[in-house]
Chain A
Amino acid sequence: MDSKQLFFEDVSVGDEISPITKKATLVQNVMYAAATWDFHRHHYDKEFTDSKGYLGTFIDGQLFGAFLAQLVAQWAGADGVVKKLGLSYRVMAIPGDVLTCKGRVADKYDKDSENLVHCDLWIENQRGEKVVGPAHALLALPLRNSKA
């Protein structure tokens, strides 16, 4: 993996965060259930979700937190540190959906000797519907001209 480092000085409010795309699959739902030890049947049992009137075996919303963390970590580079991540859930996602994770820089400031960037984030499906949003992340970035 070859990420460039992003420096605080190089960020401007309004900058776009390079989007990443994830494909929702049933197999991933099962892997995620195993990795989180959360076996709720509404993520993998179609008979169960049909009986409850759901659209399908919907993706665990918390998986989107992992996607957004990856979105900002890849943008920020190895020396960027994610300090806060918030997300609100909208439309359900089901296997077959294609999810695009996007973001934009909303604010930058320094506080307590950290250089912080606040980003607005969201996730859209292939129909342009918001699956996640509003969402946001707070990152600390290194200075290009660091005296440390």
Chain B
Amino acid sequence: MGRKSFITLEIRDLVGKEEVFSSPEELGRASIHRFAVAVADPNPLYYDAEFAENTRYGGIIAPPTMIFEMNHNIGDEILEDGGYASRIMLPSPLTRFVRGDNEYDIVQPARPDDKITMKREIVEIYEKEGKAGTLVFVIIEMKFFNQKEELLGINRETLIFMPAKKS
């Protein structure tokens, strides 16, 4: 007798719907500089305007992974555990998850006066039997644009959901 699939109709319905998150203001030099310090990257390209002007970029740019790693949805509800209400979640019992992988496509650098819009879509959900039980893989595609509608980059992310541990 086969085990029932964890992928309910409710979960299958999550695939293919686009959500849009827009930052209320431009990135700004401060957020770029602070990110560079937080990731311990000493490159003056990210904070020294005079240095940056003499590079191929002609000015300060954000570190290449910054826009993918940031939450641009300031003002969205933050839950008690510190996570966003708008984050990708699956219904019970699939309440545990780990990050599987990220694929960044860096199309053009983000700049201090870019105002970021992120369009997010779950593109695929599938399950696999792991050593410790069922794993449900959720593939999410996030596209990042500035206010000129220029594509800055794409982040394709895999989250791996599991049934909650029985205590």
Evaluate contact between B81 and A41: CB separation under 8 angstroms: yes
Query: Cβ of A73 and Cβ of B64 under 8 Å apart?
Result: yes
Q: Is the CB of A41 within 8 A of B82?
A: yes
Complex interface bits, B83-107 against A, C-beta within 8 A gives 1, otherwise 0: 1000000000000001111111110
Question: Complex formed: what's the CA distance from A34 to B69 in Å?
Answer: 12
Q: Tell me the complex Cα distance, A45–B99, Å.
A: 19
Which residue of the partner chain A has the closest CB to B71? A37
* Interface set, chain B 36-71, CB cutoff 8 A to A: 37-45, 55-56, 63-66, 68-71
Cross-interface CB contact of B39 among A42, A45, A67, A89, cutoff 8 Å: A67
Which A-chain residue is minimally distant from B66 (CB atoms)? A66
Contact of A83 with B by CB under 8 A = yes
Closest Cβ–Cβ distance, residue B67 to chain A (whole Å): 10
The answer to whether B71 touches A36, judged by C-beta atoms less than 8 angstroms apart, is yes
Question: Is A89 a contact of B101 with CB atoms below 8 Å?
Answer: yes
- Given A1-B44, A39-B78, A65:B38 Cβ within 8 A: no
A56, B102: Cα distance in complex, Å: 23
A82 within 8 A of B: yes
Chain A interface residue count, CB cutoff 8 Å, equals 37
A40 at interface by CB-CB < 8 Å: yes
Q: B35 at interface (Cβ–Cβ under 8 A)? A: yes
Q: B87 — nearest CB in chain A belongs to which residue? A: A40
A42 to B63, CA, bound (A): 25
Q: Is A86 a contact of B104 with CB atoms below 8 Å?
A: yes
Closest B residue to A89 using CB positions:
B99
Task: Establish whether residues A84 and B105, one from each chain, have CB atoms under 8 Å apart when the complex forms.
Answer: yes
Question: Which chain B residue lies CB-closest to A31?
Answer: B38
**Distance to closest chain A CB from B88 (angstroms):** 13
With contacts A37-B74, A38-B71, A82-B106 taken as known, whether A1 is within 8 angstroms of B64 at the C-beta atoms is no
B31 within 8 A of A: yes
**Interchain CB contact under 8 A, B83 and A1:** no
Of the candidates A22, A40, A86, the one whose C-beta lies within 8 Å of that of B102 is A86
Knowing A37-B71, A63-B69, A79-B56 are in contact, say whether A69-B99 is a contact too (CB < 8 A). Answer: no
Interface contact A36-B70, CB-CB below 8 Å: yes
Given contacts A35-B34, A41-B82, A66-B69, contact A22 B40 (CB under 8 A): yes
The 7 A-B pairs at the shortest CB distance, nearest first, are namely A66-B39, A35-B38, A88-B101, A31-B38, A41-B82, A39-B82, A40-B82
B: residues with CB less than 8 A from A are 31, 34-35, 37-45, 55-56, 63-66, 68-71, 74, 78, 81-83, 98-106, 165
- Chain A residues with CB under 8 Å of chain B are 1, 22, 28, 31-32, 34-42, 45, 48, 53, 60-63, 65-67, 69-70, 73, 78-79, 82-89
